[in-house]
Structure 1
Amino acid sequence: MSTEKTGTGNTPPGAHLPEHPDVLWRNPEPKRSYDVVIVGGGGHGLATAHYLVKNHGITNVAVLEKGWLAGGNMARNTTLIRSNYLLDESAFVYEHALKLWEGLEEDLGYPILFSQRGVLNLAHTEQDVRDSVRRVEANRLNGIDAEYLGPDDVAKICPIVNVSHDIRYPVLGATYQPRAGIAKHDYVAWGFARRADSAGVDLIQDCEVLDFVTEGSVEDGNARVTGIRTSRGDIACGQVALCAAGHTSTLLDRLGVETPLQSHPLQALVSELLEPVHPTIVMSNAVHVYVSQAHKGELVMGAGVDSYNGYGQRGAFHIIERQMAAAVELFPVFARAHLLRSWAGIVDVTPDASPIVGRTPYSNVLVNSGWGTGGFKVTPGLGWCLAHTIATDELHPHIAPFALDRFVTGALVDEHGAAGVAH
């Protein structure tokens, strides 16, 4: 990926500037040691580095990325941002993130094309309607904007949705969150990277983690990681945050830490460029598709995960075929649109469809994984909370419910069916 400048922004007084004015960040050699090492140069890792600097003044930080910055799921998601989750624990962290999204462009001094166009989650059965009303009421109790709409109001917000009664899954209504929206994922990553780099954080690309240097014993409760062995040499560390999405479980395997994570391909696609016709975001569990229109004009569509486990960034054709059939059923106007390209990311999912964030058996290692299909939308909120935890050695309240030990205690945060279609 090129790091040529694609936008403008403000640099804080006294900030460390890149050596060349035509690049967004430096490409430094790794130092021998850092106070904090973040493994994973995607949105979560970059946001954590940014808030370590901004909120806590911690700058002796390295972000290690085995490929190029934001070249994993951050560059492969479909950019949807919302906070209308059912359970309190999920709603709190996603709403925290949404509030940060609303001021993020000013914070980063960089354009991210954040567009609050709203999201409709369609209801197609009587049970869908009951579940939708329940979610709306739960959202309102948590101070989150939400309303339930009938078919006529759905058509007013998005006139191209097929709300006729003679289709396989007629639209009986929808939840609506007006503050939901989209942002340009690449710009978000570049904005976080630029800010972190300007403050002195080392963003180290082409740096794969090969192993860990440890001391102490997990059984005795005094285990810690003292260094990280990488493809660019050994790096000593004070604290470590693992933010490698679908590959987090492979890193923890090297530490002998078992996690209930499964990694799956998740496909998405875009159409050719079209005139602006789709004013919002529409999601449907019953026909299993979601559709928005990007700033340039292409339709951005996604569906559910491929059922098999794997790390290949390519999925099965039948998923795309069903996805297109569902999109055309909901949006007949798209029947003649042409598919431009498709791709897949790697999502890591847990038994209760909620993330794993917090401590590990190693006293100085934090884990951040299992966000499934919701990782992009929580980017600034997770970065804020993880930076707080690193800096204060106290779990931020918004991530405390997602500890790894809940799979032992039974305190699960079960979001199955509550979060909606993959997104």
Structure 2
Amino acid sequence: MPLRLLKQGLLGSEREPRFFPEQGELRDRYDVVIIGGGGHGLACAHYLAKEHGITNVAVLEQGYLGGGNTGRNTTIIRSNYLTPEGVRFYDASLQLFQGLSEELDINLFYSTRGHYTLAHSDEALRTMRWRAEVNRHHGIDSRVVGPDAVAADIPGIDLECGGNHPVMGALYHAPGAVARHDAVAWGYGRAAANRGVEIHQQTRVTGIRTAGGRVTGVDTDRGAVDCGAVVSMVAGSTPRITAMVDLPTPIEIYPLQACVTEPVKPFLDTIVVSGSLHVYLSQSSRGELVMGAAVDPYSLHSTRSSFEFVEGLADRLIDLLPFTARLRVNRQWAGMSDLTPDFAPIMGTTPLDGFYLDAGWGTWGFKATPISGQTMAATVAAGRNHELIEPFRFDRFTDFQLVGEKGAASVGH
């Protein structure tokens, strides 16, 4: 019996401390206003307070904490990207994730699983070798394995995929992991609040005020506040925020859907991704298969889910794992993926002084949560881009210095 339950039984109930402080009124002024109470926004607030001593910070969330893409993803964490810039960035995030439960004093259910990206053609296998070489060059544990290794690690897989897309090999990334997404947001939020950051839920930003080429404050549905800096970290709502400051971006929004099955006895220890089948899945600690596919093929600001998604995903998944035909889908959902032309984020300073942007995360924002928060906090504190995010700067689209991450990020995982 847990000690806490035994104490309650013997000594009676006692008032449980609040996870977050009670929400008060907005102040007249903050040093920094962060728009977006998801993982990125709360992580940025935490690192501003912890590493830079900036605590006069307000996080403004139009809904509830973690209610956007932070709570609408499939929780995969990896660093086996294609470009050196992406590999360095995401590996720094993975390293932070590994110690995050202890840092935030909350169980994130971080679980290292290993990550298989299946290759179904000679061309795909060449790309896996390319990624493996880039990964190893930067000290990342990735290697190409053959079909026998895939079959040994993924019970029940049909290597012929119904005769349509035979598995010819895979990129195996040993550090691939999963974590509890809502706990990441809650942990960062509590840690930031404990250092004096204010978190305001149900607070919608309706305008951003500027003067003399710099940010001076924000308007909300609860009143106006002055501030010295605004950080936009709102993923699929980015176009609405950037329109407030007349800042065009190449970001387009596409729905990304996912679903989970009924829980079954644990059998899948690894994360499985197939770019050709547009399928990725893992098994949760509760036994559910957590599954997703590519983004929907049309631009739409919506979080609705569809039968067509489940039908198509099930068809391809049964080719890969025939026995899953017997499983029932319990629930499905959608997020809004903010995609850039080169499939890499836009981070850091912008042409508007005091306005910082963290956007363009597409299908890979959750895994970037810790390093995004840390580097954006450093950028805001210094007023210039952190070196790790300089390749993702806002103006790379005007000087044609694109990052080119599509080969490792376009499946929707």
Whether the TM-score (by the shorter chain) exceeds 0.5 is yes
Q: Secondary structure at the match of 2:397?
A: helix
Name 1:213's counterpart in structure 2: 209
User: Is 1:82 the equivalent of 2:78?
Assistant: yes
Name 2:256's counterpart in structure 1: 266
The one-letter amino acid paired with 1:239 is A
Name 1:286's counterpart in structure 2: 276
Distance 2:302 2:263 in 1: 28
Q: CA deviation at 1:198?
A: 0.9
Q: CA deviation at 1:165?
A: 7.5
Name 2:131's counterpart in structure 1: 135
Distance 1:189 1:342 in 2: 21
Deviation string, structure 1 residues 259-315 (Cα, Å, up to 9, x no partner): 011011110000001110111100001111001001111110000111222221114
Deviation string, structure 1 residues 68-89 (Cα, Å, up to 9, x no partner): 1111111111100000001011
Contact 1:26 1:197 in 2 (8 A): no
Name 2:95's counterpart in structure 1: 99
Please point out which of 131, 140, 160 is paired with 1:144: 140
Q: How does 1:47-126 map to 2 (within 5 A)?
A: 47-126=43-122
Name 2:385's counterpart in structure 1: 395
Q: How does 1:284-323 map to 2 (within 5 A)?
A: 284-323=274-313
Deviation string, structure 1 residues 114-153 (Cα, Å, up to 9, x no partner): 0011110000001111110111011000111101110001
User: Could you tell me the TM-score, scaled by structure 2's length?
Assistant: 0.94
Q: CA deviation at 1:158?
A: 1.7
Q: Secondary structure at the match of 2:106?
A: coil
Distance 2:164 2:32 in 1: 54
Q: Secondary structure at the match of 1:305?
A: coil
Name 1:5's counterpart in structure 2: none
- RMSD of equivalent CA atoms: 1.4
Q: CA deviation at 1:254?
A: 1.3
User: Is 1:171 the equivalent of 2:159?
Assistant: no
Q: Secondary structure at the match of 1:131?
A: helix
Name 1:334's counterpart in structure 2: 324
Contact 2:305 2:332 in 1 (8 A): no
Q: Secondary structure at the match of 2:398?
A: helix
The one-letter amino acid paired with 2:126 is R
Contact 1:160 1:278 in 2 (8 A): no
Q: Secondary structure at the match of 1:38?
A: strand
Q: CA deviation at 1:418?
A: 2.6
Distance 2:189 2:331 in 1: 27
Q: How does 1:37-52 map to 2 (within 5 A)?
A: 37-52=33-48
Distance 2:73 2:215 in 1: 32
Q: Secondary structure at the match of 1:418?
A: helix
Q: Secondary structure at the match of 2:118?
A: strand
Name 2:8's counterpart in structure 1: none
Distance 1:126 1:26 in 2: 57
Deviation string, structure 1 residues 230-268 (Cα, Å, up to 9, x no partner): 011101111111001111111111111100110111100
The one-letter amino acid paired with 2:22 is R
Contact 2:60 2:204 in 1 (8 A): yes
Contact 2:349 2:383 in 1 (8 A): no
Q: Secondary structure at the match of 1:304?
A: coil
Q: CA deviation at 1:166?
A: 5.9
User: Could you tell me the TM-score, scaled by structure 1's length?
Assistant: 0.92
The one-letter amino acid paired with 2:248 is E
Name 2:396's counterpart in structure 1: 406
The one-letter amino acid paired with 1:384 is Q
Deviation string, structure 1 residues 161-186 (Cα, Å, up to 9, x no partner): 22248621011110011111100001
Q: Secondary structure at the match of 2:289?
A: strand
Distance 1:378 1:56 in 2: 20
Contact 2:294 2:410 in 1 (8 A): no
Distance 1:55 1:23 in 2: 22
Distance 1:285 1:376 in 2: 19
Q: Which has the higher helix share?
A: 2
User: Is 1:363 the equivalent of 2:362?
Assistant: no
Deviation string, structure 1 residues 74-107 (Cα, Å, up to 9, x no partner): 1111100000001011111101100000100011
Contact 1:121 1:420 in 2 (8 A): no
Structure 2 unaligned regions, length at least 5: 5-14
Structure 1 unaligned regions, length at least 5: 1-7, 9-18, 217-222
Contact 1:28 1:203 in 2 (8 A): no
Contact 1:66 1:208 in 2 (8 A): yes
Name 1:237's counterpart in structure 2: 227
Q: CA deviation at 1:56?
A: 1.1
Q: How does 1:20-35 map to 2 (within 5 A)?
A: 21-35=17-31
Deviation string, structure 1 residues 10-29 (Cα, Å, up to 9, x no partner): xxxxxxxxx97143343232
Q: CA deviation at 1:358?
A: 1.5
Contact 1:85 1:139 in 2 (8 A): yes
The one-letter amino acid paired with 1:329 is D
Name 2:12's counterpart in structure 1: none
Q: Which moved more, 1:409-418 or 1:376-385?
A: 409-418
Distance 1:97 1:160 in 2: 32
Q: Secondary structure at the match of 2:191?
A: helix
Contact 1:291 1:327 in 2 (8 A): no
